[in-house]
Amino acid sequence: MEKELIKSFTYENLLVKVREWGFKDYTAKQIFSWLWQKGIEDFSQMTDIAKEKREFLKANFQIKVLEREKVLTSRDGTKKFLLSLLDRNKIEAVFIPEDKRRTVCVSTQVGCPLGCHFCLTARLGFKRNLKFYEILDQVQKIRKDFGQITNVVFMGMGEPFLNFEEVMKAVGILSSDFGFKIGQRHITISTAGILEGIYRLAESAWNVKLAISLNSPKDEVRSFLMPINQKYPIGELIKSLRYYVKKKRRRITIEYVLIKGLNDQEGDALLLGKILRGLPSKINLIPFNPFPGSDFSPPSEKEVENFASLLSLHYPYLITIRKSRGRDILAGCGQLIGR
């Protein structure tokens, strides 16, 4: 029989529990930081907790949440972790080492319900939301193998804003001093444009970075690529982003996957610049990552640069071209399927 999961308690829950067990309040903090700050995997390592207490915990709880099934390493150093959940569902997390940053890209759902046509994850369909501790354990597993993590991006499998509560609990522990100690400005949540999530984040006290997968300035094209656009069309989306930026006084990131012949034309670049006018932001252009069975292809390098320079005619902010990492191991954007 599986024991109860000690990692399923938030700090507040754990505090209630330790009182129930007759432990002192400070034990909650001790247990919590052993689990999430130090990342131990066995109760016997909780050396500042009395032995009988450790034995009690060991008899009643388990620490394990994720099992590492496989690690693939890309030519560029990116690593893709295939992880198995206790219910045997599979998810993926990606480790992206750079000169100054060591980023983990986490999944928030098993599969994804949004069905974007250019994204391989969509083909899995949707299985379930991840719990906060299943999100955190992805970072933990990678940290254990590769050391301290500086940045976390919620850009793996799934739509974070369809799992808002658990995602924000995970953010809380990532940024906590007795959790992972990763500053909120080093945490990015990427959304396909779920308006409720954007407004909720705008009203909240969280200071994470927000990224939006826009992918076309035209409703017809965007609805074709991303069916969610029928529910939340571009006009409404931009309105929510203006509200967000005003409320938070922070710029946002616009992600734009460039697909040959679909959203990479001169008219797209010019219109994109126009609809974003006056919205403090930066644009990240991502050449489409091909995968088996997709009909799309990326524009050439020259066409991407051309798009960027046309865009800059109307768009006064920073434009970057994302060098997708880990494509040879299907660890690039939109290539995660948990296999």
What does the binding site for ligand SAH look like in residue numbers (CB under 6 A)?
A: 118-119, 155, 159, 190-192, 213, 215, 255, 257, 286, 288-289, 333-334
Q: Which of 4, 55, 92, 166 is catalytic?
A: 92
Min dist CB 48 to ligand SAH, Å, is 39
Q: How far is the CB of 296 from ligand SAH (least distance, A)?
A: 7
Q: Which is nearer to ligand SAH, 166 or 255 (CB)?
A: 255
Q: How many CA atoms lie within 13 A of 13 on its CB side?
A: 7
Query: For residues 159 and 264, which CB has a smaller minimum distance to ligand SAH in the complex?
Result: 159
Residue nearest to ligand SAH (CB): 334
Q: Which of 105, 112, 116, 333 is catalytic?
A: 333
For the question of residue 41 being annotated catalytic, the response is no
Q: Which is nearer to ligand SAH, 137 or 255 (CB)?
A: 255
Residues 6+ apart with CB under 8 A from 211: 155, 188, 189, 190, 191, 252, 253, 254, 255, 284
CA nearest neighbour of 194 among 220, 163, 166: 163
Question: CB of 114: closest distance to ligand SAH in angstroms?
Answer: 6
User: Nearest distance from residue 34's CB to ligand SAH, in Å?
Assistant: 31
Residue of 153, 3, 72, 35 whose CA lies nearest to 337: 72
User: Exposed, middle or buried: residue 200 (CB in 10 Å: 0-12, 13-18, 19+)?
Assistant: middle
Is 92 a residue of the active site? Answer: yes
Question: Is the CB of 175 or the CB of 190 nearer to ligand SAH?
Answer: 190
Determine whether 309 is exposed, middle or buried from the number of CB atoms within 10 Å of its CB (0-12, 13-18, 19+). Answer: exposed
Cα(197)–Cα(191) distance, integer angstroms: 8
**Would you please indicate which residues are annotated as catalytic (active-site) residues?**
92, 333
